[in-house]
Amino acid sequence: MKKFVITIARETGSGGLNITRKLSEATGAPYYDRDLLRKASEVSGIHEGLFGQADERIGFWEMISAAEKVYTGELLPPDSDDFISTRNLFSFQAKIIKELAEEESCIILGRCGNYLLQERKDVLRVFIHAPLEVRQERVAEYSLAWSEREVLKYLRTEDKRRSAYYHYYTGEEWRDVSGYDLSLDSGELGEDGCVERILQFLPLYWKETD
């Protein structure tokens, strides 16, 4: 049986979640998004709500802290004062991502998946982006009560948040194409076109498993 892992990073409003869902349907492989928080909670014993609060975000004081930077893989024990720190929460989440990638074909949405699994040979790392005006239109479709200014503020705030989160734990830049195998413009290709392109590339990253 051929095993594969796909990681999806995406700009806000680029359709990354829909593309992930369609990929899951096309390949039969499960995708993991907020499910990772529940699994990390079960493994660590830390309340899922704390993982939710730290999900793909960091606070101001964490950003300027020199003590908590770049993921090392260390898991702190329950008796540690920093057991429920955002760094340790991320480490538990990273543990789950690595275990899933080892055990099954799957799709990981966000959460620095491309960085955490960069050493694996069976991983296709994808970045989904689109022009600002395309993303603005997409967000406006499901946020009808928002003004144009509010939509633009949301896009910029969310992209800044994701970029800061990625840099905080990896030391690298979220949009740097060297961190991905495939960078796709969903504004040009559409969601289905992105899925088709990923499926075309996927055989290059298949691994024969027992």
Output the pLDDT for position 168: 85
How many residues appear in the chain?
210
CA 87 distance to own-chain centroid: 16
pLDDT digits (tens, 9 = 90+) for 82-103: 565 677 778 888 888 999 999 9
Output the pLDDT for position 210: 43
Q: Which residues, 6+ apart, have CB-to-CB distance to 144 below 8 Å? A: none
Output the pLDDT for position 64: 43
Distance in angstroms (rounded) separating the CA atoms of residues 69 and 80: 18
Residue-range domain boundaries for the chain: 2-208
pTM for the full predicted model: 0.85
Q: Would you list the DSSP string of 136-171?
A: HHHHHHH-TTS-HHHHHHHHHHHHHHHHHHHHHHHS
Instruction: Decide if domain 2-208 falls under CATH 3.40.50.300.
Output: yes
Output the pLDDT for position 124: 96
Q: How many CA atoms lie within 13 A of 181 on its CB side?
A: 24
Residue 106 per-residue DSSP state: E
Instruction: Give CA angle at 128 (125, 132), nearest 5°.
Output: 155
Instruction: Give CA angle at 53 (48, 57), nearest 5°.
Output: 130
Output the pLDDT for position 22: 97
Low-confidence residues in the chain, pLDDT < 70: 1, 37, 39-41, 43-85, 205-210
Give the amino acid at 73.
Answer: G
Output the pLDDT for position 92: 82
